[in-house]
Structure 1
Amino acid sequence: MCSHYEAPLRKLLQSAYPSAAIPDAWDAPDMWPGYIGPFLRRPPGHDAGDEAVPALQVDLGNFGLVPAWAKDETLSRRTYNARSETVAQKPAFRDAWRRAQHCIVPAVAIYEPDWRSGRSVPTRIGRADGEPMGIAGLYEQRRTADGRTAFSFTMLTLNADAHPIFRELHRPDPRLGPDAQDKRMVAILPRGLYDAWLDAPVEKSMDFMRMFPADRLVAEARPAGPAAQLNISV
């Protein structure tokens, strides 16, 4: 599960998505659950034939999905990732999944703990070609008590027991055998599938839950910075 990632700064995001409408600024790129960061989605009316409406829109949202029924945003500390196998049943995610509220979470890199040495070693994982990753996600919007529209998002995950990189990460579960650990990875999308994911109906959503090739990623031990001291379960 991914609780820590680097969001691209505005200049890099504009370069990667030149046709997208992008807000001026957001929180520091070091992202943890509850922080505000960018995500990409289709804007309302994008398919109405109006050339003034961009094909992509970048909104700022809470990292951690906050459904409309939530009393406040503290739920985001537990909803930053959604298991693709159970997302359709979980109360926090099922409405966004049913409505196919697909989004892309841009990330320069993600951090995961490597426990092979017997202790947690923060490991930075990014694309080998240096491009930002596009992670398949779901977004939600809700009306706050003061009348604002607040966005939030989550990253979708899938089993990675067979992935050459992600199978080595996270603390092993002693209750399970080495071949049944349910190691997880986020659903990193190939660039050529971005549009297809954003436009996919709910019955096609699971088609995109595939392991991203290991030879297109680079993993290296890297200190996670002072925010790693936060008490966040991974």
Structure 2
Amino acid sequence: MCGRFVSRTDAAIERTFNVTPRDWRHDWASYNVAPTQPVPVIRTAGQVREGVMLRWGLIPFWAKGEPTRYSTINARAETIDTAASYRGPWRQGRRCLIPAVGYFEWQAVNGGKQAWFIRLAGGEAFAFAGLWEQSTKADGTVVETCTIITVPANPMVAEIHAKGRMPAMLEPQHCQQWLLGSVEEARATLATYPVEQMDAYRISSRVNSPRNNAADLLEPIN
């Protein structure tokens, strides 16, 4: 799964993902993105990629703009076409990219938990494959939200995360296929990321609290 991650919206990210901001917070950065917070999302408007800020935690269209009682921050790739919350945006092609430079997982150790930072081996930016949705409140307010799709974990992540899941990660060259490809082409991108192209290291328990949000959270510890 993916419950916290690191993201930014600087000029380098915009160039990497060929995005034209519409409602995008320029030079925004978060070193500890948490559920329900606004996150940067890239989606298509015709053939143009636009950058917007959406609530992380998908609210289905039928929920009338109100969060559900169950978690919707992650959607399993195996059931996005059947699960009640996700089959709508999946069938309507509401696919999106959620840019990131890494994410956090917690490993059970000696009765406690050890936080890890997981990223591409070179530290480059990538994107989570996601879905977005619109839902309208009783007063007519339209709420736009998103979820991150997960796939089976590779061996490195499986050693850290007991549930054996990881986010679907896309390099820039695969993003067009996810955003604008056919259903079959898009599904083909939802693969477990190769373990030899990733790395992970232990970090401080300060990351446990979303209130802590600074670059030094990413410093490795022994």
TM-score bracket relative to the smaller structure: 0.7 to 0.9
| 1:141-180 alignment runs, 5 A limit | 141-160=134-153, 163-171=154-162
TM-score, with structure 1 as normaliser: 0.79
Q: 1:31 aligns with which of 13, 33, 36?
A: 33
CA distance in 2, matches of 1:188, 1:76: 27
Q: Which residue of the partner structure matches residue 122 of structure 2?
A: 129
Q: Which residue of the partner structure matches residue 13 of structure 1?
A: 13
Q: How big is the shift at 1:140?
A: 0.8
Q: Is the 8 A contact 1:61 1:151 kept in 2?
A: yes
Q: Which residue of the partner structure matches residue 104 of structure 1?
A: 97
Q: Is the 8 A contact 1:134 1:191 kept in 2?
A: yes
Q: How big is the shift at 1:202?
A: 2.2
Structure 2 residue ranges without an equivalent (≥5): 213-222
Greater shift, 108-117 or 31-40, is seen at 108-117
- The 1:211/1:3 distance shift into structure 2, 3 A limit, reads same
Q: By percentage of residues, which structure has more strand?
A: 2
Q: Is the 8 A contact 1:112 1:122 kept in 2?
A: yes
Q: 2:165 aligns with which of 166, 178, 184?
A: 184
Q: Is the 8 A contact 1:22 1:59 kept in 2?
A: yes
Q: How big is the shift at 1:117?
A: 4.8
Q: Is the 8 A contact 1:82 1:157 kept in 2?
A: yes
Q: CA RMSD in A?
A: 2.4
Q: Is the 8 A contact 1:100 1:200 kept in 2?
A: no
Q: Is the 8 A contact 1:103 1:138 kept in 2?
A: yes
Q: Is the 8 A contact 1:64 1:76 kept in 2?
A: no
Q: 1:217 aligns with which of 189, 198, 202?
A: 198
CA distance in 2, matches of 1:73, 1:131: 35
CA distance in 1, matches of 2:117, 2:33: 13
SS of residue in 2 equivalent to 1:34 = coil
- The alignment-based identity, stated in percent, is 27
Q: Which amino acid aligns with 1:132?
A: A
Q: Is the 8 A contact 1:62 1:76 kept in 2?
A: no
Measured against aligned partners, the alpha-carbon deviations of 1:122-178 in whole angstroms (never above 9, x if no partner) come to: 111112222212111111123334434321111111112xx221111224xxxxxxx
Q: Which runs of 4 or more aligned residues in structure 1 lie more than 4 Å from their structure 2 counterparts after TM superposition?
A: none
Q: How big is the shift at 1:15?
A: 4.3
CA distance in 2, matches of 1:37, 1:19: 15
- The 1:94/1:186 distance shift into structure 2, 3 A limit, reads same
CA distance in 2, matches of 1:73, 1:13: 31
CA distance in 2, matches of 1:7, 1:76: 26
CA distance in 2, matches of 1:213, 1:60: 29
Q: What is the total number of aligned residue pairs between the two structures?
A: 208
Structure 1 residue ranges without an equivalent (≥5): 47-54, 172-181, 230-234
Greater shift, 130-139 or 5-14, is seen at 5-14
- The 1:206/1:76 distance shift into structure 2, 3 A limit, reads farther
Q: Is the 8 A contact 2:24 2:52 kept in 1?
A: no
